[in-house]
Amino acid sequence: MYHLLAGLYAEVTKKPTYHVLLVGLKGAGKTWILEKFREIYCDGPGPSARIAPTVGQNVLNVQYKRSIVHFWDLGGAASMRSLWDEYLPDAHTLVWVIDAPRWAQNSVDAEGPYRDAVCTALFHLVQDAAARNLPILVVAAQLDRLEPNLPTDGIEHISGAGVQEHIYTTLLKRWALLVEEDTSAATLKPDWDVVGVSAASSDGMRVLLDTIHARAMRFATSKSAP
Ligand SMILES: Nc1nc2c(ncn2[C@@H]2O[C@H](COP(=O)(O)OP(=O)(O)OP(=O)(O)O)[C@@H](O)[C@H]2O)c(=O)[nH]1
Ligand SMILES: [Mg+2]
Q: Is 85 exposed, middle or buried (0-12, 13-18, 19+ CB in 10 A)?
A: exposed
Q: What average pLDDT does the structure give for the chain? A: 94
Higher pLDDT, 14 or 24: 24
- CA 98 from chain centre, in angstroms, equals 9
Report residue 12's pLDDT band, with 50, 70 and 90 as the boundaries: low
Segment 70-75 mean pLDDT? 98
- Give the C-alpha separation, 212 to 206, whole Å: 10
Q: Is 208 annotated as a binding residue?
A: no
- Position 1 scores a pLDDT of 67
With both helix axes pointing from N to C terminus, report the angle between 30-42 and 205-224 in degrees, rounded to the nearest 10.
Answer: 90
Question: Is the dihedral angle over the CA atoms 143, 42, 23, 206 positive or is it negative?
Answer: negative
Across 10-33, b (16+ Cβ under 10 Å) vs e yields eeeeeeeebbbbbbbbbbbbbbbb
Each residue of 136-194: pLDDT tens digit? Answer: 999 999 999 999 899 999 998 899 999 999 999 999 999 999 999 988 888 999 999 99
- Position 13 scores a pLDDT of 67
Give the least confident one: 34-38, 78-82, 142-146, 195-199.
Answer: 78-82
**In testing the pocket of ligand 1, which one of 22, 142, 197 has its CB within 8 Å of the most ligand atoms?**
142
- Position 3 scores a pLDDT of 76
Pocket around ligand 1 at a 6 A CB cut-off: 24, 26-32, 51, 53-54, 75-77, 97, 141-142, 144-145, 198-200
With both helix axes pointing from N to C terminus, report the angle between 114-131 and 160-181 in degrees, rounded to the nearest 10.
Answer: 70
* Domains of the chain from N-terminus onward: 16-224 (3.40.50.300)
- Position 10 scores a pLDDT of 67
